[in-house]
Amino acid sequence: MLPVLALVGRPNVGKSTLFNQLTRSRDALVANLSGLTRDRQYGQGRLEETAFIVIDTGGITGEEEGIDAAMADQSMAAIAEADVVLLLVDGRSGLHPGDEALVTYLRTQGKAFHLVVNKIDGVGEDIAASDFYQLGVEHIHSIAATHNRGVKKLIADVLSPWAALAEADDEAGNNGAIRVAIVGRPNVGKSTLVNRLLGEERVVVFDEPGTTRDSVYIDYERRGRHYTLIDTAGVRKRKNVREAVEKFSIVKTLKAIADAQVVILILDAHEGIVEQDLHLLGQCIDAGRALVIALNKWDGIESDERDWIRSELHRRLQFIDYADTHFISALHGSGVGKLYGSIHAAHDAATRSLSTPRLTRILEDAVSTHPPPMVNSRRVKLRYAHAGGQNPPVVVVHGTQTAALPASYQRYLEKTFRRELDLHGTPIRIELRSGENPYAGKRNKLTQRQVERRRRMMSHIKKSEKKARHKKRDG
Protein backbone atom coordinates (compact mmCIF):
# COMPACT_ATOMS: atom_id res chain seq x y z
CA MET A 1 0.00 0.00 0.00
CA LEU A 2 1.20 3.49 -0.80
CA PRO A 3 1.75 5.83 2.16
CA VAL A 4 -0.98 8.46 2.51
CA LEU A 5 -0.07 12.02 3.55
CA ALA A 6 -2.76 14.51 4.61
CA LEU A 7 -2.14 18.26 4.44
CA VAL A 8 -4.05 20.06 7.19
CA GLY A 9 -3.91 23.47 8.82
CA ARG A 10 -5.64 26.79 9.16
CA PRO A 11 -6.99 28.56 6.05
CA ASN A 12 -4.51 30.11 3.63
CA VAL A 13 -1.32 28.59 5.04
CA GLY A 14 -0.31 27.09 1.67
CA LYS A 15 -1.76 23.56 1.71
CA SER A 16 -2.95 23.62 -1.91
CA THR A 17 0.35 25.14 -3.08
CA LEU A 18 2.26 22.31 -1.42
CA PHE A 19 -0.21 19.78 -2.87
CA ASN A 20 0.53 21.02 -6.39
CA GLN A 21 4.27 20.86 -5.73
CA LEU A 22 4.07 17.29 -4.46
CA THR A 23 1.85 16.07 -7.30
CA ARG A 24 3.64 18.19 -9.93
CA SER A 25 0.28 19.40 -11.13
CA ARG A 26 -2.18 22.25 -10.82
CA ASP A 27 -5.02 20.06 -9.63
CA ALA A 28 -5.71 22.17 -6.54
CA LEU A 29 -6.95 25.73 -6.90
CA VAL A 30 -4.57 28.30 -5.44
CA ALA A 31 -5.49 31.92 -4.72
CA ASN A 32 -4.97 34.49 -1.99
CA LEU A 33 -8.37 33.71 -0.53
CA SER A 34 -9.33 31.86 2.64
CA GLY A 35 -11.67 28.88 2.40
CA LEU A 36 -10.93 28.11 -1.25
CA THR A 37 -10.54 24.33 -0.80
CA ARG A 38 -13.76 22.70 0.42
CA ASP A 39 -13.54 18.99 -0.42
CA ARG A 40 -10.57 16.73 0.17
CA GLN A 41 -8.56 16.34 -3.01
CA TYR A 42 -6.41 13.30 -3.77
CA GLY A 43 -3.22 13.22 -5.82
CA GLN A 44 -0.23 10.97 -6.36
CA GLY A 45 3.39 11.96 -5.97
CA ARG A 46 6.76 10.29 -6.20
CA LEU A 47 10.15 10.81 -4.60
CA GLU A 48 12.75 8.75 -6.48
CA GLU A 49 11.61 5.13 -5.98
CA THR A 50 8.88 5.87 -3.42
CA ALA A 51 5.35 6.72 -4.55
CA PHE A 52 2.78 8.20 -2.19
CA ILE A 53 -0.74 9.61 -2.04
CA VAL A 54 -1.33 13.14 -0.80
CA ILE A 55 -4.65 14.64 0.36
CA ASP A 56 -5.38 18.35 0.23
CA THR A 57 -7.99 19.60 2.71
CA GLY A 58 -9.86 22.74 3.62
CA GLY A 59 -8.69 25.06 6.34
CA ILE A 60 -9.70 24.38 9.97
CA THR A 61 -10.23 27.16 12.50
CA GLY A 62 -12.30 25.37 15.15
CA GLU A 63 -15.12 27.91 14.76
CA GLU A 64 -16.77 26.46 11.66
CA GLU A 65 -20.50 26.84 11.05
CA GLY A 66 -22.75 25.92 8.14
CA ILE A 67 -20.76 24.85 5.09
CA ASP A 68 -17.48 25.47 6.94
CA ALA A 69 -18.48 22.75 9.42
CA ALA A 70 -18.89 20.31 6.53
CA MET A 71 -15.48 21.38 5.26
CA ALA A 72 -13.97 20.67 8.68
CA ASP A 73 -15.56 17.19 8.62
CA GLN A 74 -13.77 16.54 5.32
CA SER A 75 -10.46 17.54 6.92
CA MET A 76 -11.07 15.26 9.90
CA ALA A 77 -11.89 12.39 7.54
CA ALA A 78 -8.59 13.01 5.72
CA ILE A 79 -6.71 12.86 9.04
CA ALA A 80 -8.34 9.52 9.82
CA GLU A 81 -7.37 8.13 6.38
CA ALA A 82 -3.76 9.32 6.47
CA ASP A 83 -0.69 7.43 7.60
CA VAL A 84 1.13 10.71 8.31
CA VAL A 85 -0.28 14.22 8.72
CA LEU A 86 1.61 17.29 7.57
CA LEU A 87 0.39 20.16 9.74
CA LEU A 88 1.11 23.40 7.90
CA VAL A 89 1.57 26.67 9.76
CA ASP A 90 2.32 30.18 8.56
CA GLY A 91 5.93 31.18 9.35
CA ARG A 92 5.21 34.85 8.74
CA SER A 93 2.23 35.24 11.07
CA GLY A 94 3.75 33.08 13.82
CA LEU A 95 2.03 30.74 16.27
CA HIS A 96 -1.78 30.93 16.28
CA PRO A 97 -4.21 29.42 18.84
CA GLY A 98 -5.69 27.39 15.97
CA ASP A 99 -2.30 25.76 15.39
CA GLU A 100 -2.10 24.74 19.04
CA ALA A 101 -5.60 23.28 18.88
CA LEU A 102 -4.71 21.16 15.86
CA VAL A 103 -1.53 19.89 17.53
CA THR A 104 -3.57 18.89 20.59
CA TYR A 105 -6.15 17.12 18.42
CA LEU A 106 -3.52 15.13 16.50
CA ARG A 107 -1.86 14.06 19.75
CA THR A 108 -5.17 12.89 21.25
CA GLN A 109 -5.84 10.88 18.08
CA GLY A 110 -2.42 9.26 18.29
CA LYS A 111 -1.73 10.27 14.69
CA ALA A 112 1.85 10.60 13.46
CA PHE A 113 2.43 14.13 12.21
CA HIS A 114 5.11 16.58 11.14
CA LEU A 115 4.91 20.33 11.71
CA VAL A 116 5.65 22.20 8.47
CA VAL A 117 6.50 25.90 8.80
CA ASN A 118 5.63 27.41 5.43
CA LYS A 119 6.31 30.83 3.85
CA ILE A 120 9.88 31.18 5.13
CA ASP A 121 10.97 33.04 1.98
CA GLY A 122 12.16 36.50 2.98
CA VAL A 123 12.07 35.60 6.69
CA GLY A 124 14.70 32.92 7.30
CA GLU A 125 14.34 29.36 8.56
CA ASP A 126 15.43 29.92 12.16
CA ILE A 127 13.39 33.06 12.65
CA ALA A 128 10.26 31.57 11.06
CA ALA A 129 10.42 28.33 13.08
CA SER A 130 11.50 29.79 16.44
CA ASP A 131 7.94 30.60 17.52
CA PHE A 132 6.80 26.98 17.07
CA TYR A 133 9.40 25.15 19.16
CA GLN A 134 7.30 25.79 22.27
CA LEU A 135 4.77 23.25 20.91
CA GLY A 136 7.23 20.45 21.71
CA VAL A 137 6.79 18.78 18.31
CA GLU A 138 9.49 16.28 17.43
CA HIS A 139 9.52 16.83 13.67
CA ILE A 140 9.64 20.47 12.51
CA HIS A 141 10.41 21.40 8.90
CA SER A 142 10.79 24.81 7.25
CA ILE A 143 9.76 25.24 3.62
CA ALA A 144 8.67 27.79 1.03
CA ALA A 145 6.06 25.86 -0.96
CA THR A 146 5.66 28.59 -3.57
CA HIS A 147 9.33 28.29 -4.58
CA ASN A 148 9.60 24.53 -3.84
CA ARG A 149 12.29 25.30 -1.25
CA GLY A 150 12.85 22.56 1.33
CA VAL A 151 9.99 20.42 -0.06
CA LYS A 152 12.15 17.55 -1.28
CA LYS A 153 13.95 17.24 2.06
CA LEU A 154 10.60 17.36 3.88
CA ILE A 155 9.13 14.47 1.87
CA ALA A 156 12.37 12.47 2.14
CA ASP A 157 12.19 12.69 5.95
CA VAL A 158 8.46 11.89 6.04
CA LEU A 159 8.77 8.88 3.73
CA SER A 160 11.95 7.45 5.26
CA PRO A 161 10.04 4.56 6.99
CA TRP A 162 8.69 3.47 3.59
CA ALA A 163 11.79 4.14 1.49
CA ALA A 164 13.42 0.76 2.20
CA LEU A 165 10.26 -1.13 1.19
CA ALA A 166 9.19 1.04 -1.75
CA GLU A 167 9.19 -0.39 -5.27
CA ALA A 168 9.06 1.60 -8.46
CA ASP A 169 5.58 1.73 -9.94
CA ASP A 170 5.58 3.61 -13.23
CA GLU A 171 1.91 3.07 -13.99
CA ALA A 172 -0.91 5.12 -12.51
CA GLY A 173 -2.41 2.00 -11.00
CA ASN A 174 -6.04 2.70 -11.87
CA ASN A 175 -6.67 -0.99 -12.72
CA GLY A 176 -8.57 -0.06 -15.87
CA ALA A 177 -10.94 2.21 -13.95
CA ILE A 178 -13.78 3.87 -15.87
CA ARG A 179 -13.45 7.64 -15.47
CA VAL A 180 -16.89 9.18 -15.00
CA ALA A 181 -17.36 12.97 -14.78
CA ILE A 182 -20.50 14.40 -13.14
CA VAL A 183 -21.27 17.78 -14.74
CA GLY A 184 -24.14 20.25 -14.67
CA ARG A 185 -25.21 23.71 -13.63
CA PRO A 186 -24.79 24.81 -9.99
CA ASN A 187 -27.07 23.21 -7.41
CA VAL A 188 -28.54 20.49 -9.65
CA GLY A 189 -27.35 17.72 -7.29
CA LYS A 190 -23.94 16.69 -8.63
CA SER A 191 -22.28 16.17 -5.26
CA THR A 192 -25.42 14.48 -3.90
CA LEU A 193 -25.27 12.00 -6.77
CA VAL A 194 -21.56 11.36 -6.12
CA ASN A 195 -22.26 10.58 -2.47
CA ARG A 196 -25.19 8.34 -3.46
CA LEU A 197 -23.03 6.39 -5.92
CA LEU A 198 -20.31 6.00 -3.29
CA GLY A 199 -22.65 5.26 -0.39
CA GLU A 200 -20.93 7.80 1.88
CA GLU A 201 -20.73 11.54 2.50
CA ARG A 202 -17.59 11.86 0.42
CA VAL A 203 -17.98 15.46 -0.82
CA VAL A 204 -19.53 18.55 0.71
CA VAL A 205 -23.26 18.92 0.05
CA PHE A 206 -24.86 22.20 1.03
CA ASP A 207 -27.99 24.04 -0.08
CA GLU A 208 -25.98 26.79 -1.75
CA PRO A 209 -24.91 27.14 -5.40
CA GLY A 210 -21.16 26.88 -5.98
CA THR A 211 -20.35 24.60 -3.04
CA THR A 212 -17.92 22.54 -5.15
CA ARG A 213 -15.06 24.58 -6.58
CA ASP A 214 -12.43 21.98 -7.40
CA SER A 215 -12.83 18.95 -9.67
CA VAL A 216 -12.53 16.11 -7.14
CA TYR A 217 -11.27 12.72 -8.39
CA ILE A 218 -12.47 9.73 -6.33
CA ASP A 219 -11.40 6.11 -6.93
CA TYR A 220 -13.65 3.28 -5.78
CA GLU A 221 -14.69 -0.29 -6.60
CA ARG A 222 -18.17 -1.75 -7.15
CA ARG A 223 -18.89 -5.41 -7.86
CA GLY A 224 -15.37 -6.10 -9.05
CA ARG A 225 -15.15 -3.08 -11.38
CA HIS A 226 -13.05 0.00 -10.75
CA TYR A 227 -14.28 3.55 -11.24
CA THR A 228 -12.96 7.09 -10.89
CA LEU A 229 -15.73 9.59 -10.18
CA ILE A 230 -15.02 13.23 -10.98
CA ASP A 231 -17.20 15.69 -9.08
CA THR A 232 -17.03 19.05 -10.84
CA ALA A 233 -17.96 22.64 -10.12
CA GLY A 234 -21.22 23.93 -11.56
CA VAL A 235 -20.86 25.96 -14.76
CA ARG A 236 -22.98 29.09 -15.13
CA LYS A 237 -23.37 31.60 -17.93
CA ARG A 238 -20.29 33.76 -18.45
CA LYS A 239 -22.16 36.95 -17.54
CA ASN A 240 -23.05 35.43 -14.14
CA VAL A 241 -19.46 34.50 -13.27
CA ARG A 242 -18.21 37.17 -10.88
CA GLU A 243 -15.39 35.71 -8.80
CA ALA A 244 -12.01 34.89 -10.31
CA VAL A 245 -12.06 31.64 -8.34
CA GLU A 246 -15.23 30.54 -10.14
CA LYS A 247 -13.61 31.25 -13.51
CA PHE A 248 -10.82 28.84 -12.61
CA SER A 249 -13.44 26.29 -11.51
CA ILE A 250 -15.07 26.43 -14.94
CA VAL A 251 -11.74 25.77 -16.62
CA LYS A 252 -11.19 22.77 -14.35
CA THR A 253 -14.69 21.46 -15.15
CA LEU A 254 -13.95 21.57 -18.86
CA LYS A 255 -10.63 19.82 -18.21
CA ALA A 256 -12.49 17.13 -16.22
CA ILE A 257 -14.74 16.54 -19.24
CA ALA A 258 -11.64 16.03 -21.36
CA ASP A 259 -10.14 13.64 -18.74
CA ALA A 260 -13.30 11.53 -18.45
CA GLN A 261 -14.34 8.58 -20.57
CA VAL A 262 -18.04 8.87 -19.72
CA VAL A 263 -19.86 12.09 -18.75
CA ILE A 264 -23.10 12.15 -16.75
CA LEU A 265 -24.88 15.42 -17.51
CA ILE A 266 -27.33 16.24 -14.71
CA LEU A 267 -30.41 18.35 -15.46
CA ASP A 268 -32.87 19.79 -12.95
CA ALA A 269 -36.33 18.31 -13.57
CA HIS A 270 -37.99 21.33 -11.96
CA GLU A 271 -36.31 23.77 -14.35
CA GLY A 272 -36.17 21.66 -17.51
CA ILE A 273 -33.55 22.22 -20.20
CA VAL A 274 -32.07 25.70 -20.22
CA GLU A 275 -29.51 27.33 -22.47
CA GLN A 276 -26.60 26.57 -20.15
CA ASP A 277 -27.48 22.86 -20.18
CA LEU A 278 -27.23 22.87 -23.97
CA HIS A 279 -23.92 24.74 -23.75
CA LEU A 280 -22.49 22.08 -21.42
CA LEU A 281 -23.89 19.37 -23.66
CA GLY A 282 -22.08 20.96 -26.59
CA GLN A 283 -18.82 20.89 -24.61
CA CYS A 284 -19.26 17.16 -23.99
CA ILE A 285 -20.00 16.48 -27.66
CA ASP A 286 -17.07 18.61 -28.85
CA ALA A 287 -14.80 16.66 -26.49
CA GLY A 288 -16.15 13.44 -28.01
CA ARG A 289 -17.09 11.93 -24.67
CA ALA A 290 -19.57 9.10 -24.13
CA LEU A 291 -22.69 10.57 -22.59
CA VAL A 292 -25.46 9.71 -20.12
CA ILE A 293 -28.28 12.16 -19.34
CA ALA A 294 -29.69 12.18 -15.78
CA LEU A 295 -32.79 14.22 -14.95
CA ASN A 296 -32.52 14.78 -11.20
CA LYS A 297 -35.17 15.69 -8.56
CA TRP A 298 -37.72 13.59 -10.44
CA ASP A 299 -39.48 12.45 -7.27
CA GLY A 300 -41.15 15.83 -6.70
CA ILE A 301 -42.81 16.09 -10.13
CA GLU A 302 -46.54 15.46 -10.75
CA SER A 303 -47.53 12.81 -13.33
CA ASP A 304 -49.02 15.29 -15.83
CA GLU A 305 -45.92 17.44 -15.69
CA ARG A 306 -43.71 14.37 -16.13
CA ASP A 307 -45.32 13.58 -19.49
CA TRP A 308 -44.71 17.14 -20.70
CA ILE A 309 -41.08 17.05 -19.52
CA ARG A 310 -40.48 13.74 -21.34
CA SER A 311 -41.90 15.10 -24.61
CA GLU A 312 -39.92 18.33 -24.29
CA LEU A 313 -36.75 16.38 -23.54
CA HIS A 314 -37.30 14.17 -26.58
CA ARG A 315 -37.95 17.21 -28.82
CA ARG A 316 -34.92 19.23 -27.78
CA LEU A 317 -32.40 16.38 -27.50
CA GLN A 318 -33.09 14.58 -30.76
CA PHE A 319 -29.56 15.31 -31.96
CA ILE A 320 -28.13 13.05 -29.21
CA ASP A 321 -30.62 10.20 -29.51
CA TYR A 322 -27.73 7.79 -28.96
CA ALA A 323 -27.42 8.78 -25.26
CA ASP A 324 -29.49 7.10 -22.52
CA THR A 325 -31.75 9.30 -20.40
CA HIS A 326 -32.51 8.42 -16.75
CA PHE A 327 -35.02 10.00 -14.39
CA ILE A 328 -33.53 9.87 -10.91
CA SER A 329 -33.59 11.24 -7.40
CA ALA A 330 -30.01 11.55 -6.14
CA LEU A 331 -31.27 12.47 -2.68
CA HIS A 332 -33.45 9.36 -2.22
CA GLY A 333 -31.55 7.03 -4.56
CA SER A 334 -34.39 6.13 -6.93
CA GLY A 335 -33.12 5.27 -10.41
CA VAL A 336 -29.47 5.85 -9.50
CA GLY A 337 -28.46 2.18 -9.74
CA LYS A 338 -29.60 2.03 -13.37
CA LEU A 339 -26.95 4.56 -14.32
CA TYR A 340 -24.26 1.89 -14.13
CA GLY A 341 -25.75 -0.09 -17.04
CA SER A 342 -25.61 2.98 -19.28
CA ILE A 343 -22.11 3.86 -18.06
CA HIS A 344 -20.82 0.40 -18.98
CA ALA A 345 -22.55 0.37 -22.38
CA ALA A 346 -21.25 3.83 -23.27
CA HIS A 347 -17.71 3.04 -22.09
CA ASP A 348 -17.59 -0.27 -23.96
CA ALA A 349 -18.79 1.43 -27.17
CA ALA A 350 -16.33 4.31 -26.83
CA THR A 351 -13.31 2.04 -26.30
CA ARG A 352 -14.23 -0.86 -28.60
CA SER A 353 -11.70 -2.11 -31.18
CA LEU A 354 -13.01 -1.83 -34.75
CA SER A 355 -11.68 -4.04 -37.57
CA THR A 356 -10.81 -2.65 -41.00
CA PRO A 357 -12.70 -5.34 -43.03
CA ARG A 358 -15.94 -4.72 -41.17
CA LEU A 359 -15.66 -0.94 -41.45
CA THR A 360 -14.96 -1.23 -45.17
CA ARG A 361 -17.98 -3.51 -45.70
CA ILE A 362 -20.23 -1.04 -43.86
CA LEU A 363 -18.85 1.80 -46.01
CA GLU A 364 -19.43 -0.15 -49.24
CA ASP A 365 -23.03 -0.95 -48.25
CA ALA A 366 -23.68 2.68 -47.31
CA VAL A 367 -22.28 3.93 -50.64
CA SER A 368 -24.28 1.33 -52.55
CA THR A 369 -27.52 2.30 -50.78
CA HIS A 370 -26.97 6.05 -51.07
CA PRO A 371 -24.10 7.08 -53.44
CA PRO A 372 -22.13 10.26 -52.75
CA PRO A 373 -23.02 13.36 -54.80
CA MET A 374 -21.36 14.59 -58.02
CA VAL A 375 -18.68 17.28 -57.75
CA ASN A 376 -17.32 19.02 -60.87
CA SER A 377 -19.11 16.44 -63.04
CA ARG A 378 -17.30 13.65 -61.18
CA ARG A 379 -18.68 11.52 -58.38
CA VAL A 380 -16.94 11.49 -55.00
CA LYS A 381 -15.46 8.02 -54.51
CA LEU A 382 -15.14 6.42 -51.06
CA ARG A 383 -12.93 3.35 -51.27
CA TYR A 384 -12.20 1.89 -47.82
CA ALA A 385 -12.30 2.67 -44.07
CA HIS A 386 -10.27 1.81 -40.97
CA ALA A 387 -10.23 2.71 -37.26
CA GLY A 388 -8.38 5.90 -36.33
CA GLY A 389 -8.85 6.12 -32.56
CA GLN A 390 -11.02 5.50 -29.51
CA ASN A 391 -13.01 7.58 -27.03
CA PRO A 392 -14.56 8.75 -29.28
CA PRO A 393 -14.39 6.09 -32.01
CA VAL A 394 -12.79 7.56 -35.13
CA VAL A 395 -13.45 6.05 -38.57
CA VAL A 396 -10.99 7.13 -41.28
CA VAL A 397 -12.51 7.01 -44.77
CA HIS A 398 -10.21 7.09 -47.83
CA GLY A 399 -11.30 8.16 -51.28
CA THR A 400 -11.07 10.88 -53.93
CA GLN A 401 -12.47 14.41 -53.70
CA THR A 402 -13.40 13.75 -50.06
CA ALA A 403 -12.85 17.42 -49.17
CA ALA A 404 -15.94 18.22 -51.26
CA LEU A 405 -18.17 15.70 -49.44
CA PRO A 406 -21.18 17.59 -47.98
CA ALA A 407 -21.72 17.69 -44.21
CA SER A 408 -25.13 16.03 -44.70
CA TYR A 409 -23.48 12.96 -46.25
CA GLN A 410 -20.94 12.84 -43.41
CA ARG A 411 -23.83 12.77 -40.92
CA TYR A 412 -25.35 9.94 -42.95
CA LEU A 413 -22.11 7.98 -42.63
CA GLU A 414 -21.95 8.68 -38.87
CA LYS A 415 -25.47 7.34 -38.31
CA THR A 416 -24.80 4.32 -40.52
CA PHE A 417 -21.60 3.35 -38.71
CA ARG A 418 -23.20 3.90 -35.28
CA ARG A 419 -26.21 1.76 -36.19
CA GLU A 420 -24.26 -1.09 -37.77
CA LEU A 421 -21.60 -1.17 -35.04
CA ASP A 422 -24.16 -0.66 -32.23
CA LEU A 423 -22.14 2.19 -30.74
CA HIS A 424 -24.51 3.06 -27.92
CA GLY A 425 -23.98 6.18 -25.84
CA THR A 426 -20.97 7.59 -27.66
CA PRO A 427 -20.48 10.04 -30.53
CA ILE A 428 -18.45 8.96 -33.54
CA ARG A 429 -16.02 10.90 -35.68
CA ILE A 430 -15.60 10.56 -39.46
CA GLU A 431 -12.19 11.58 -40.78
CA LEU A 432 -11.92 11.96 -44.55
CA ARG A 433 -8.69 11.50 -46.49
CA SER A 434 -8.03 11.85 -50.20
CA GLY A 435 -5.37 9.90 -52.06
CA GLU A 436 -2.49 11.87 -53.57
CA ASN A 437 -2.28 12.40 -57.35
CA PRO A 438 0.69 10.24 -58.44
CA TYR A 439 1.42 12.56 -61.38
CA ALA A 440 1.26 15.85 -59.50
CA GLY A 441 4.86 15.72 -58.32
CA LYS A 442 6.20 14.40 -61.62
CA ARG A 443 4.70 17.33 -63.52
CA ASN A 444 6.55 19.75 -61.27
CA LYS A 445 9.80 17.85 -61.65
CA LEU A 446 9.45 17.83 -65.45
CA THR A 447 8.99 21.61 -65.48
CA GLN A 448 12.09 22.06 -63.36
CA ARG A 449 14.17 19.95 -65.76
CA GLN A 450 12.94 21.97 -68.68
CA VAL A 451 13.86 25.21 -66.94
CA GLU A 452 17.34 23.89 -66.14
CA ARG A 453 17.86 22.75 -69.74
CA ARG A 454 16.77 26.15 -71.07
CA ARG A 455 19.10 27.89 -68.66
CA ARG A 456 22.08 25.81 -69.84
CA MET A 457 21.13 26.38 -73.47
CA MET A 458 20.87 30.16 -73.02
CA SER A 459 24.22 30.19 -71.22
CA HIS A 460 25.81 28.27 -74.10
CA ILE A 461 24.32 30.68 -76.66
CA LYS A 462 25.57 33.72 -74.78
CA LYS A 463 29.08 32.27 -74.57
CA SER A 464 29.05 31.49 -78.30
CA GLU A 465 27.87 35.01 -79.18
CA LYS A 466 30.51 36.57 -76.92
CA LYS A 467 33.23 34.41 -78.49
CA ALA A 468 32.08 35.40 -81.97
CA ARG A 469 32.20 39.11 -81.09
CA HIS A 470 35.74 38.81 -79.73
CA LYS A 471 36.85 36.92 -82.84
CA LYS A 472 35.34 39.53 -85.15
CA ARG A 473 36.99 42.40 -83.21
CA ASP A 474 40.43 40.76 -83.21
CA GLY A 475 40.20 39.81 -86.87
pTM of model > 0.85? no
pLDDT of 242 over the 70 cut: no
Distance CA 110, CA 84 (A): 11
Burial 241-270 (b: 16+ CB within 10 A, else e): eeeebbebbbebbbbbbebbbbbbbbbbbe
Neighbours of 41 (CB within 10 A): 26
pLDDT of residue 200: 62
pLDDT tens digit string along 154-195? 999 998 887 755 444 444 444 578 999 998 888 888 888 888
Q: Please, what is the angle between helix 356-369 and helix 407-421, to 10°? A: 130
> Residue 241 — pLDDT band, cuts 50, 70, 90?
very low
Over pLDDT 70: what percentage of the chain? 80
Q: Which residues pair with 227 in a beta bridge?
A: 178, 220
Q: Assess contact for 83 and 4: CB atoms under 8 A.
A: yes
pLDDT tens digit string along 359-397? 999 999 999 999 998 887 888 889 999 998 888 899 999
pLDDT tens digit string along 211-230? 444 457 788 888 888 888 88
Between the alpha carbon of residue 160 and those of residues 47, 166, 240, the distances in Å are: 11, 10, 49
pLDDT of residue 80: 83
pLDDT tens digit string along 265-323? 999 888 888 888 888 888 888 888 999 999 998 987 888 888 888 888 888 888 888 99
Q: With H, G, I as helix, E, B as strand and everything else as coil, classify residue 431.
A: strand
Single-letter amino acid, residue 377: S
Give the residue-averaged pLDDT of 459-465. Answer: 83
Q: Which sign does the torsion angle of CA 238, 244, 248, 249 carry?
A: negative
131 closest CA partner among 76, 170, 92, 185: 92
Distance CA 54, CA 83 (A): 10
Q: Assess contact for 48 and 7: CB atoms under 8 A.
A: no
pLDDT of residue 39: 59
What average pLDDT is seen over the chain?
Answer: 80
Give the residue-averaged pLDDT of 393-405. Answer: 90
pLDDT of residue 51: 76
